[in-house]
Chains A and B, each alone.
Chain A
Amino acid sequence: MSKILPLSLSGISVKAGGNHLLRDININFDKGPLTLIIGPNGAGKSLLLRLCHGLIKPNKGTLTWQGSEAAFAARHQALVFQKPVLLRRSVRENIAYPLRITGMFSTAEITDRIAEALDLSGLAAIADRPAKVLSGGEQQKLALARARAIRPEVLFLDEPTANLDPRSLGQVEALIRETHEAGTKIIMTSHDMSQVKRLADEIIFLYDGHILEAGPAAQILNKPASKEASAFVKGDLLP
């Protein structure tokens, strides 16, 4: 039974300096498929994730969780940023932080969740190392493990494997897949088509702040309807 889904965006527009960064976004996210938001740089992918997560407010339109605009959904969702933002603390303390500030968990439960997150992410051996000295791949795994420890119903991932080497990329993707299989709704952005092919169940193609196409991954990848999506999927240069 879902606590917050579906997430519905209706007639959403975001403007800055007179420019439409997102315009007329209408989409529903429901439990189940692993959703990839794809599109070229500047299409509005990260902005859409931040909007869904509540970090920015739309200029127009409505965003609802289970039909309600209330902020009740805040503690059931998490966002992992493209560049991991880590506190100047140990790996273990970074995972503990969001669990502690909710005030919802006992010390024993926090300890259990930290142990589970460290185990799943393969970071147990470096749990007491300062987070800021980890490699890029380790930092991203930690950010993902920290978000996962909250056990969110929805996990937003903003290009979580950008700038990672193939080995780290594989490890982070495995963690994403495992999180999805554990029942968390994943909504992530990417412009890496090989990754999209590996992970996506459904795809939203965003272009110039607007959703040009949305549907099952096979449909968008094999028979894109718009010339922009077709060019993007093929890896051609876009106008």
Chain B
Amino acid sequence: MISILDGFGEAFRLLLSFDADLVEIVLLSLRVSLTAVVFSALIGLPLGALLAVIKFPGRQVLVVLINAFMGLPPVVVGLIVYLLLSRSGPFGVFGLLFSPTAMIIAQTMLITPIVASLTRQAISDLWVEYRDLLHSFDATPWQIMKTLLWEGRLSMMTGILAGFGRAIAEVGAVMIVGGNIDHATRVLTTAIALETSKGDLGLALGLGIVLVGIAVVINILTLSVGHAIGRQSAQGQLL
């Protein structure tokens, strides 16, 4: 029986040996998930701010839907993207299925509701605090959104981190739309699933520990950047 300690041993061995396959898998995992995070931030941050600030018919319905989509099962998202990108689907002509791009699309769909929903909540609280002040300054809707996003930057970062955590850890969607093809679409989570099914639990556990390590490092780096931005902006260097 493989123990946790064996797993740590395997993880260290993989890391210290700079295993070329592992490096490739790690880099692809980061590329896919970080790109998905960037796209979901570009969509989710303004969408969340818009939902918090602008009143329009159907806003509540949209809020309920986005909140509900926070818990979307990855396999369902994977299936939808699969249907959209498959040869008979509306975007089949682009030939994206079983490519990193398909994985990025699936992860973006998966985490955008998380980023948008957490942003909406944070911006709603700030809007209560700053509504009268910003109206008093005769700020335009665009200036209001920009200001609130900036004032809530640390909360936004939490939302983005939550999105990244969800993206890097999910396996269902990337397995369906990526296909876990060696040297093409294999990422850490699909590699773990594969090694487990092959019975190589030591390697699977080692990869799992590497995955957790990456998530921890990314969190530390992001929080450090956040604190640096906080200090810098308090001193009046930004916006």
Hey, which bits of chain A sit against chain B, CB under 8 A? Answer: 50, 53-55, 74-75, 78-79, 81, 85, 87-93, 96-98, 101-102, 127-130
**If the complex has contacts A74-B138, A98-B137, A101-B139, are A90 and B132 also in contact, measured as CB distance less than 8 A?**
no
Hey, which bits of chain B sit against chain A, CB under 8 A? Answer: 129-130, 132-133, 135-140, 143, 147, 151, 233-236, 239
Shortest CB distance B49–A (Å): 16
Q: Which 8 A-B pairs have the closest CB atoms?
A: A90-B236, A130-B234, A93-B236, A85-B133, A74-B138, A98-B137, A92-B236, A79-B136
Chain A residues near B235 (CB, 8 Å)? 90, 128
Please tell me if the beta carbons of A101 and B143 are within 8 angstroms of each other in the complex.
Answer: yes
Please tell me if the beta carbons of B129 and A85 are within 8 angstroms of each other in the complex.
Answer: yes
Contact of A85 among B132, B140, B236, B239 (CB under 8 A): B132
In the bound complex, CA of A87 to CA of B130 (Å): 8
Other than A79-B132, A89-B236, A90-B234, give 18 A-B pairs with Cβ distance below 8 A.
A50-B132, A53-B136, A55-B135, A55-B136, A78-B136, A81-B132, A81-B133, A85-B129, A87-B130, A87-B151, A88-B151, A88-B233, A89-B234, A96-B236, A101-B139, A101-B140, A128-B235, A129-B234
Please tell me if the beta carbons of A85 and B130 are within 8 angstroms of each other in the complex.
Answer: yes
Chain A residues near B234 (CB, 8 Å)? 88-90, 129-130
Please tell me if the beta carbons of B236 and A128 are within 8 angstroms of each other in the complex.
Answer: yes
Give the nearest-CB partner of A53 in chain B: B136
In the bound complex, CA of A78 to CA of B138 (Å): 10
Interface residues of chain B: helix, strand, loop or mixed (majority) = helix
Give the nearest-CB partner of A85 in chain B: B133
Please tell me if the beta carbons of B129 and A101 are within 8 angstroms of each other in the complex.
Answer: no
Chain A residues near B137 (CB, 8 Å)? 97-98, 101
Give the nearest-CB partner of B233 in chain A: A89
In the bound complex, CA of A208 to CA of B204 (Å): 74
In the bound complex, CA of A156 to CA of B174 (Å): 58
Please tell me if the beta carbons of B138 and A75 are within 8 angstroms of each other in the complex.
Answer: yes
Shortest CB distance B149–A (Å): 12
Shortest CB distance B144–A (Å): 9
Give the nearest-CB partner of A98 in chain B: B137
Give the nearest-CB partner of A156 in chain B: B136
In the bound complex, CA of A101 to CA of B130 (Å): 15
For this complex, 29 residue pairs linking A to B, each with C-beta atoms less than 8 Å apart, are A54-B135, A55-B132, A55-B135, A74-B138, A75-B138, A79-B136, A81-B132, A85-B129, A85-B133, A87-B130, A87-B151, A88-B234, A89-B233, A89-B236, A90-B234, A90-B235, A91-B236, A92-B236, A93-B233, A93-B236, A96-B236, A97-B137, A97-B147, A98-B137, A101-B137, A101-B139, A101-B143, A102-B138, A130-B234
Chain A residues near B136 (CB, 8 Å)? 53, 55, 78-79
Shortest CB distance A102–B (Å): 8
In the bound complex, CA of A102 to CA of B143 (Å): 10
Most B C-beta atoms less than 10 A away, residue of A53, A87, A130: A87
Shortest CB distance B151–A (Å): 5
Chain B residues near A96 (CB, 8 Å)? 236
Chain B residues near A75 (CB, 8 Å)? 138
In the bound complex, CA of A210 to CA of B236 (Å): 44
Most A C-beta atoms less than 10 A away, residue of B132, B133, B151, B236: B236
Most B C-beta atoms less than 10 A away, residue of A97, A102, A128: A97
Shortest CB distance B235–A (Å): 5
Chain B residues near A102 (CB, 8 Å)? 138
Chain B residues near A130 (CB, 8 Å)? 234
Shortest CB distance A50–B (Å): 8
Chain B residues near A88 (CB, 8 Å)? 151, 233-234
In the bound complex, CA of A26 to CA of B71 (Å): 56
In the bound complex, CA of A85 to CA of B139 (Å): 15
Give the nearest-CB partner of B130 in chain A: A85
Shortest CB distance B37–A (Å): 24
In the bound complex, CA of A50 to CA of B235 (Å): 32
Chain B residues near A101 (CB, 8 Å)? 137-140, 143
Shortest CB distance A108–B (Å): 17
